[in-house]
Amino acid sequence: MKKNINIAIIGLGNIGSYLYRYLKKNKISLTKKNNTIPNILYVSAKNRNIKRSITIPKKMWLKNYIDSTTNKDIDVIIELIGGAEGPAKKLVFAALRNGKHVVTANKALIAKYGDQLAKIAEKNNVNLEFEAAVCGGVPIVRSVKESLIANTITKIYGIFNGTSNYILSCMEKDDLSFNDALLKAQKLGYAETNPLSDLNGEDVSSKLKILSSLSFNTFINNNVYVEGINNIDQIDIKNANKLGYKIKLLGISEINNKKLIQRVHPCLVKNTSYIGGINGVLNAVIVNGDPVGENIIQGEGAGPGATTSAIVSDICSILRGNIKYPFSISSNERMKIKSSSISSHIFSSYLRLDVSDKPGVLSDITKILSKNNVSIKRLIQNPFKSKKYSSIIIVTHKVKNAGLMSSISQLSRKKFLIATPKLIRIEF
Amino acid sequence: MKKNINIAIIGLGNIGSYLYRYLKKNKISLTKKNNTIPNILYVSAKNRNIKRSITIPKKMWLKNYIDSTTNKDIDVIIELIGGAEGPAKKLVFAALRNGKHVVTANKALIAKYGDQLAKIAEKNNVNLEFEAAVCGGVPIVRSVKESLIANTITKIYGIFNGTSNYILSCMEKDDLSFNDALLKAQKLGYAETNPLSDLNGEDVSSKLKILSSLSFNTFINNNVYVEGINNIDQIDIKNANKLGYKIKLLGISEINNKKLIQRVHPCLVKNTSYIGGINGVLNAVIVNGDPVGENIIQGEGAGPGATTSAIVSDICSILRGNIKYPFSISSNERMKIKSSSISSHIFSSYLRLDVSDKPGVLSDITKILSKNNVSIKRLIQNPFKSKKYSSIIIVTHKVKNAGLMSSISQLSRKKFLIATPKLIRIEF
């Protein structure tokens, strides 16, 4: 006689509904694979009467979502509410405290409260699983925790946000402005109605914090330099292309001199590089580890299918009875790590300065750069059609971020500048 | 007090020695990650007195490698002997029968005896783990068994052999003949002294059989069409380049009309495709699954570091006490699958015919192709320098493999052919 594991799905949006249907349809095959029966016992959602693609028997509805945490029949709670605070937080804390296994797709919650939640899970000997919180179809959490467990990881980076990658690809390929590309993404369901956290880098920042702590066996560190794609103009993408680059929003975390540097920002990457070839809604995560070398996983970053694949891998791990530390090692063994800011980090970079076409402008610009120890590798001046203004594109040699930032700030004050200077760091 | 798990390493070549050193050096961190102490208790090797990079205490040497299977203190046996028969076979069968967990890097053994071995492992409730048998630094076995467990896989393919990929890359990039590229690979340690199974496709075939059975939940099926890279000439690589392609040795397994087709052969792939960008000793495995979509893992295919990373992930899975079915589901649930041969499969393909430059030759060739329903998409005739001979390059439309093969066989008999016709299938 096979054992039943009883599941409650809390949150029935796109993903919750897809998951519900998937688990019903694949009950037999999942039972075969795990020798345990995954049984959806209860569901809950903010709005019970909304029109859904699934029909749920009346008896399966919980009166109150929080009852799932005290119901003795429930073994596993799937949290698909979202958000770092409010009901999601209340649910997951209560569930773990009451000895329920938790599977969540909530990157904001894990990035903010993951350390506290892990301690409670470990104390109560239950699983806290969050594969779906980081790059849905890219099983990077399980990969770092299990497949690459042998490795000392020194760097983990990649494209972690399908929405912004789609928009950047679209601006390049379909020759669209940022706003038009965003509209297209929303039309196709690749961007939410409120896409703020996707575009301002916050979504990538949450994922990066989680990946850093898994990779380096450290507590979550909130020191992340974050810049989104909101300021990328189409002209920058065209300029980058002419220089042999593409623009990608990367999340990058690495250990340098025993200090952690976490950063999220648009980067110029060589168009022949691997990462330059990751287009549309794809995500890719690259891990540098010893002894494995460089390891890459690529897949769809979001969407109900990819996210369900991740959630189900977590459920199956629970069905098989594999209790694991949520962050790979015990909270007693996780370390605090010192972090360093981006300011002493060295970058080569792309600068675009739109200026009035007057004598002395170039001399003023080069003087400011030189004062800040920014040396120029390449300079192209393109007159505007009106010929009154010019766009000056500069590629710098490698120089400290602080020097770049003070150059930008000094240049910004110059009257000959007709727009805020644009700085994009060159990564590969 | 933490539990000890006692390990015997059988086989101390490059990989065994690297693993020994790794396990000694990383004992503390592995204990932290798994809450269990990995302890090397015994080793054995064919030649005890050979010069090694490691010093092994006398007391650790087993008198006879097979003693490891009966020694009560040993929990896990790591088989690094190699080969489908002889001592490796004897060791692994005996180990599983005696209730020892087994970790092996031996693709030939698993491809040949995996089904039998899995049944014994399941009966005795021990692990049989073989991540290192398939594409060392690409953790595809664990990925299919765990990370992608939710998916119905319809196709799995990729570059599974670092040696042949290195040689093909070298022929292209360094403008070397096949033999010179092979010599270079051997010099750099990327090809063995006897590289036969790497070059004739047998190595890829073993890996493909294992991946098919994991992906499709079927018993191992030996019906594989196998062609290696031994017949690839530099001129074919140059011709492919001119047509916008690269030549790669792919392993491809897919389900078509409920039948399995497994094939290993050189392919022309678009040079802008993902797979066309995988160069040198890299391996890449691509999985098409529902609901995850397309999933890719890329990494170093071989070498002691990558292989050790794989072996250690297997050891850790045992340290954590995760008993699993070796092939993802129970042997009672695995199915026999019907397979179909490549002959009815449809390909577009590249043909090179080196011919005497006489009147009527082209007409003869096109007549034969037409009789076999092979229709021509593109034809280029290049005269040899001597002008007595020509090379005719044909790209065909999609056509049944059988038609291609009978064309080749009929063309071969023609006197105007001065060399065996060359056929390379176009995949992407």
* Residue of B274, B299, B304 lying closest to A294 (CB–CB): B299
CATH number at residue A358: 3.30.70.260
User: Does the residue B93 lie in any domain?
Assistant: yes
Chain A residue with the nearest C-alpha to that of B273: A277
Q: CB A309 to CB B22 under 8 A?
A: no
| Mutate which: A125, A140, A273, A309, vs B, most B CBs within 10 A | A309
Please tell me which of the candidates B150, B322, B324 has its beta carbon nearest to residue A309.
B150
DSSP A11-33: --SHHHHHHHHHHHHTHHHHHHH
- The per-residue pLDDT for range A1-15, each reduced to its tens digit, is 789 999 999 999 999
Task: Say yes or no for a CB contact (<8 Å) between A147 and B313.
Answer: yes
Cβ atoms A350, A393 nearer than 8 A: yes
Q: How far is A374 from chain B (nearest CA, A)?
A: 35
| Closest residue in chain A to residue B287, using alpha carbons only | A299
Final residue of a domain: which of A91, A109, A133? A133
**Structural domain contains residue B316:** no
A chain contacts of residue B32, beta-carbon cutoff 8 Å: 217, 329-330, 333
Residues of B in contact with A316 (CB under 8 A): 146, 149-150
Contacts of B420 (CB under 8 A, 6+ apart): B412
With CA atoms as reference, the chain A residue closest to B145 would be: A33
Tokens of B91: 């060791």
Band of residue B51 on the pLDDT scale cut at 50, 70, 90: confident
> What is the spatial distance between Cα B44 and Cα B62, in angstroms, rounded to a whole number?
6
**Do A22 and A111 fall within a single domain?**
yes
- State residue B385's pLDDT score: 79
Number of domains comprising chain B = 3
Same structural domain, A61 and A182: no
Q: How far is B421 from chain A (nearest CA, A)?
A: 35
Query: Does A305 touch chain B if contact means CB atoms closer than 8 Å?
Result: yes
Residue A38 located in a structural domain: yes
Asked whether the beta carbons of residue B305 and residue A290 sit closer than 8 angstroms, the reply is yes
Instruction: Please name the residues in contact with B392: beta carbons below 8 A apart, sequence gap of 6 or more.
Output: B351, B352, B353, B354, B355, B362, B365, B379, B380, B381, B382
- Cβ atoms of residues B7 and B315 within 8 Å: yes
Residue A304 has pLDDT above 80, yes or no: yes
**pLDDT, mean of residues A291-298:** 97
Are residue A193 and residue A158 in the same domain, yes or no?
A: yes
Answer yes or no: is pLDDT of B264 > 80. yes
Q: Let me know whether A80 and A170 are in one domain.
A: no
- Give B-chain residues touching A38 at CB under 8 angstroms: none
Q: Does the distance separating the beta carbons of B142 and A292 come in below 8 Å?
A: no
Averaged pLDDT, B400-417: 95
Taking residues B97-106, what's their average pLDDT? 98
pLDDT in tens, B302-339: 889 999 999 999 999 999 988 889 999 999 999 999 99
Confidence class for position B226, pLDDT limits 50, 70, 90: very high
Q: Tell me the residue ranges of DSSP E strands in A121-211.
A: 128-129, 152-159
In this complex, the residue of B274, B303, B313 whose CB is nearest that of residue A146 is B313
Q: Which of residues 193-232 of B touch A (CB under 8 A)?
A: 217
d(CA B312, CA A149): 8
- Computed over every residue of chain B, the mean pLDDT equals 95
Count of CB atoms within 10 A of residue B195's CB? 18
The average pLDDT across B4-12 equals: 97
Mean pLDDT of A404-424: 95
Domain span at B219: 146-300
At which of A100, A133, A166 does a domain end? Answer: A133
The CATH number assigned to the domain holding A100 equals: 3.40.50.720
Inspect the interface and report whether the beta carbons of B147 and A131 lie closer than 8 Å.
yes
If you average pLDDT over residues A316-343, what whole number do you get? 93
A100, A177: one domain: no
The residue with greater pLDDT, B382 or B371, is B371
| Active-site option among A89, A207, A209, A248 | A207
Side-by-side strand order, sheet with B101-104: B36-44, B3-10, B76-79, B101-104, B128-129
Name the region of A98 (left: φ>0; alpha: ψ -120 to 50; beta: rest): alpha
CA atoms of B165 and B170, how far apart (whole Å): 8
pLDDT at A387: 75
Give residue B236's pLDDT band: very low, low, confident or very high (50, 70, 90): very high
Residue A256's CB is within 10 A of a number of other CB atoms, namely 12
Does pLDDT of A386 surpass 90?
Answer: no
Domain-embedded: residue A331: no
pLDDT tens digits for range B175-215 = 999 999 999 999 988 888 889 999 999 999 999 999 999 99
B162 lies in the same domain as B266 = yes
Asked if A376 contacts A403 with a C-beta cutoff of 8 angstroms, the reply is no
| pTM of the predicted model as reported, rounded to 2 decimal places | 0.95
Q: So what's the pLDDT on residue A141?
A: 97
Indicate yes or no: CB of B300 within 8 angstroms of CB of A294: yes
Question: Can you name the residues that pair with A348 across neighbouring β-strands?
Answer: A426
In chain A, what percentage of residues exceed pLDDT 70?
Answer: 100
Which A residues in the span 26-65 are in contact with B, Cβ-Cβ below 8 Å?
Answer: 26, 30, 32-33, 35
Give the domain CATH number at B176.
3.30.360.10
Q: In the prediction, which pLDDT does A357 show?
A: 86
CB contact under 8 A, B295 and A298: yes
Contacts of A139 in chain B (CB under 8 A): 143, 147-148, 295
Q: Which residues of A touch B143 (CB under 8 A)?
A: 139, 143, 147
Q: How far is residue A318's CA from residue B268's CA, in Å, rounded to a whole number?
A: 43
Determine the distance in angstroms separating the CA of B86 from the nearest CA of chain A, rounded to an integer.
30
Task: Please state, rounded to an integer, the average pLDDT across all residues of chain A.
Answer: 95
Partners of A299 on chain B (C-beta within 8 Å) are: 292-296
Q: Which residue of B has its CA nearest to A285?
A: B297
Q: What is the band of A191 on the pLDDT scale with cuts at 50, 70, 90? A: confident
* Percent of all residues in chain A with a pLDDT value above 90, rounded to a whole number: 91
Same domain? A163 vs A277: yes
- Closest in A138, A147, A322 to B139, CB measured: A147
- pLDDT score of B323: 82
Number of residues that this document lists for chain B: 428
User: What is the full DSSP assignment across A281-339?
Assistant: TEEEEEEEEETTEEEEEEEE-SSHHHHHHHHHHHHHHHHTT----TTSS-TTT-B---B
Chain A CA closest to residue B315: A150
Please determine, for residue A245, whether its predicted confidence score (pLDDT) is greater than 80. Answer: yes
Partners of residue B147 in chain A, C-beta under 8 Å: 131, 139, 142-143, 147, 313
Residue B32 shares a structural domain with residue B123: yes
Statement to judge: residues A154 and A247 lie in one domain: yes
Within a domain: A306:
no
pLDDT value at A221 more than 80:
yes
Are residues B223 and B276 both part of a single domain?
A: yes
Interchain CB distance below 8 Å, A33 and B329: yes
Q: What is the distance in angstroms between the Cα of B236 and the nearest Cα belonging to chain A? A: 24
Residue of B304, B312, B328 lying closest to A33 (CB–CB) = B328
CA pair distance B192, B190, nearest whole angstrom: 7
- Minimal C-alpha gap between A276 and chain B (Å): 11
A139, A277, A293: residue with CB nearest B137:
A293
In a domain? residue B323: no
Residues of B marked as catalytic: 207
Return the pLDDT at B322: 82
- Whether residue B113 is found in the same domain as residue B166: no
For residue A147, the chain B residues in CB contact (below 8 A) are: 131, 139, 142-143, 147, 313
Q: Testing the interface with A: which of B134, B144, B147 to mutate, by most A Cβ within 10 A?
A: B147
Q: Which of B78, B105, B133 is the last residue of a domain?
A: B133
| Residue B387: pLDDT over 80 | no
Q: Which of B35, B304, B333 sits opposite A32 (nearest CB)?
A: B333
User: Would an 8 Å CB–CB cutoff place B161 in contact with chain A?
Assistant: no
Query: Of A50-54, A125-129, A154-158, which gets the smallest average pLDDT?
Result: A50-54
Cβ–Cβ below 8 Å for A299 and B293: yes
> In this structure, is residue A8 part of a structural domain?
yes
Q: Is the pLDDT of residue B1 over 80?
A: no
**ipTM, 2 decimals?**
0.93
Q: Which tokens is B18 given?
A: 């690297």
Work out how many CB contacts closer than 8 A connect A with B: 151
- Chain B 281-300, CB below 8 Å of chain A: which residues? 289-300
On whether both A197 and A59 belong to a single domain, the answer is no
> Percentage of chain B surpassing pLDDT 90?
91
* Residue B308 resides in a domain: no
- Judged by CB atoms within 8 Å, which residues 109-138 of A form the interface with B? 131, 137-138
* Residue among A30, A147, A305 whose CB faces B293 most closely: A305
